[in-house]
């Protein structure tokens, strides 16, 4: 037992010695490895404060966007010369070179309003000349044409006023050192009136065709609101929701000799009489093999001719009072890659059909195009008969088609009354034998080639650059259906 205790004491003694040795070695090792570095240099502490009038300019330092806007400070700058640029929307960029000293605060202020180069101009060029000019609701004391000068950059509303003309406004953006144009044409209210969703109860501005009935009531096709009836005061709307009309887009229509209105749309025919309505090409009645109606022409004794996308349909009433249908496809005409676009019947009952690529078909059999006749083009888009027995033909734009229209009365005559490369949408001949040509660049009126007038946004102030149909009423006024500008009335 004594030996065991003795051995334990010996081991404890040696453990204490070894532990003390290890601690001493570690302390000596740490003491030898510790070194002292010189203190870090303090960061630069120069400051540059930048402000501007108006505020909100983006600050660039030596060409780099510091992602700060005035008023703000740039800090931690060394003593040095710096290039500072300010960029403010609509204003000229401003640059300076400034000095910064460490430990000090430098300040830089830009007053844009004091620099004449920051100003801009507005060229007020509204017609008719002599119209009074207002800027942001305040009178300028000037009339058109005039230039408003010394204007700070920004948005300005310029209003023009003239007796017997409708006031009009233009909003323009003024930039430093630039002249912006405020240009418009005021509407002569003694000549024009318009019915749009902004000025009337008409349900849409996108009209596709127009016709009048025997009482002078207007019937108007639309792109998206069905069929409209307008007596000069009240609008009546026929849609798939309240009538047998199959689609909200009306493509064409015509009155037959019984006063029944035949309305064409993508899904067939809608008939509307005084005391009835009917539709063809519904699930229970399929006289049309192709229901996409493009044009309708009518003649005496309730003869109706219908041009669809790929067929022509002749319909009449037989001796027993029933209506029969004769259908002919484009393949039977030898036009497999074509489709029908338009149709008209002259005063002698001769039928004319327009095609999209191949010219015009006369009488259901004779095809006339640029290869066998003097017709201006093959892309026929509109045909209308006149009171003396001829027909007027309009075209989609092309090599020759955009330069005019053709007149056919046994032979072709070319009438160069349109601007180059305009599509003809419609042709109307009024009671005075005046021709009205609706195009995608406005309305053309002429009696002869020496007496041509063009009406569009620039000349009238009205949105009538895309005219789809024209008709005159019982007192000689002209009603114009536009695509985008609503219904327009030419009073005289």
Q: Is 229 helix (H, G, I), strand (E, B) or coil?
A: strand
**Beta pairing class for 380-385 and 366-368:** unpaired
Place of tokens 């070894």: 18
Residue-wise pLDDT for 119-154, tens only, equals: 999 999 999 999 999 999 999 999 999 999 999 999
Q: Is the pLDDT of residue 3 over 60?
A: no
Residue-wise pLDDT for 270-323, tens only, equals: 999 988 899 988 766 667 888 899 999 998 777 899 999 999 988 887 666 677
Residue-wise pLDDT for 465-479, tens only, equals: 899 999 999 888 999
This model's pTM is above 0.85: no
**Mean confidence (pLDDT) of the chain:** 89
Q: Is the pLDDT of residue 431 over 90?
A: no
71 prior amide bond cis, ω within 30: yes
Q: Is the pLDDT of residue 20 over 70?
A: no
Write down the pLDDT at residue 37. Answer: 63
Residue-wise pLDDT for 84-98, tens only, equals: 999 999 999 999 899
Residue-wise pLDDT for 22-80, tens only, equals: 555 545 554 444 555 666 677 888 999 999 999 999 999 999 999 999 999 999 999 99
Domains of the chain (ranges, CATH numbers) = 46-114 (2.60.40.1120), 119-187 (2.60.40.1120), 192-490 (2.130.10.10)
Please name which of 425, 456, 461 lies closest in space to residue 193, comparing C-alpha atoms. Answer: 461
Write down the pLDDT at residue 21. Answer: 55
Write down the pLDDT at residue 379. Answer: 93
Write down the pLDDT at residue 357. Answer: 93
Q: Is the pLDDT of residue 168 over 90?
A: yes
Q: Is the pLDDT of residue 14 over 70?
A: no
Average pLDDT over every residue of 209-237: 96
Handedness of CA 324, 263, 278, 331 (dihedral sign): positive
Local confidence band at 8 (pLDDT 50, 70, 90 cut-offs): very low
Write down the pLDDT at residue 5. Answer: 45
Q: Can you tell me the distance from the alpha carbon of 358 to that of 337, in angstroms, rounded to the nearest whole number? A: 10
Name the β-bridge partners of 353: 343, 361
Average pLDDT over every residue of 372-380: 92
């Amino acid at each position: 037992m004594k030996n065991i205790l003795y051995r334990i004491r010996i081991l404890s003694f040696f453990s204490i010695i070894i532990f003390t040795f290890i601690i001493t070695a570690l302390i000596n090792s740490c003491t030898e490895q510790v070194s002292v570095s010189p203190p870090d240099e303090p960061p630069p502490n120069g400051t540059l404060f930048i402000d501007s009038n108006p505020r909100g300019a983006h600050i660039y330092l030596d060409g780099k966007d510091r992602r700060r806007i005035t008023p703000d400070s740039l800090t931690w700058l060394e003593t040095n010369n710096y290039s500072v640029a300010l960029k403010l929307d609509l204003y000229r960029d401003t640059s300076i070179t400034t000095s910064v000293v460490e430990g000090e605060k430098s300040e830089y202020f830009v007053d844009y309003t004091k620099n004449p180069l920051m100003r801009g101009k507005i060229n007020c060029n509204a017609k008719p000349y002599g119209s009074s000019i207002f800027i942001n609701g305040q009178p300028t004391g000037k009339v058109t044409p005039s230039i408003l000068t010394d204007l700070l950059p920004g948005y300005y509303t310029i209003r023009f006023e003239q007796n017997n003309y409708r006031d009009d406004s233009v909003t323009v953006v003024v930039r430093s050192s630039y002249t912006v144009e405020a240009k418009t044409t005021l509407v002569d209210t003694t000549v024009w009136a318009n019915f749009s969703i902004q000025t009337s109860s008409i349900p849409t501005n996108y009209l596709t065709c127009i016709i009048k009935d025997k009482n002078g009531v207007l019937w108007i096709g639309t792109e998206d609101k069905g069929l409209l009836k307008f007596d000069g005061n009240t609008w009546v709307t026929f849609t798939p929701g309240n009538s047998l009309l199959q689609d909200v887009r009306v493509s064409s229509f015509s009155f037959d000799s019984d006063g029944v209105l035949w309305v064409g749309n993508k899904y067939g025919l809608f008939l509307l009489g005084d005391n009835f309505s009917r539709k063809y090409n519904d699930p229970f009645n399929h006289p049309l093999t192709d229901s996409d109606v493009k044009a309708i022409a009518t003649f005496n004794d309730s003869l109706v001719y219908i041009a669809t996308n790929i067929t022509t349909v002749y319909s009449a009433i037989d001796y027993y009072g029933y209506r029969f249908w004769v259908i002919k496809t484009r393949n039977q005409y030898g036009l497999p890659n074509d489709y029908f676009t338009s149709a008209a019947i002259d005063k002698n009952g001769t039928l004319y059909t327009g095609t999209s690529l191949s010219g015009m078909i006369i009488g259901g059999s004779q095809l006339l195009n640029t290869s066998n006749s003097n017709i201006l083009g093959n892309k026929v888009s509109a045909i209308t008969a006149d009171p003396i027995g001829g027909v007027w033909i309009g075209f989609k734009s092309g090599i020759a088609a955009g330069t005019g229209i053709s007149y056919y009365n046994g032979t072709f005559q070319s009438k160069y009354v349109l601007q180059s490369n305009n599509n003809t949408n419609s042709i109307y001949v009024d009671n005075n034998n005046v021709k009205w040509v609706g195009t995608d660049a406005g309305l053309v009126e002429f009696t002869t080639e020496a007496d041509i007038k063009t009406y569009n946004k620039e000349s009238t102030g009205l949105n009538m650059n895309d005219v789809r149909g024209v008709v005159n009423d019982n007192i000689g006024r002209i009603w114009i259906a536009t695509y985008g500008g609503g219904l327009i009335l030419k009073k005289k």
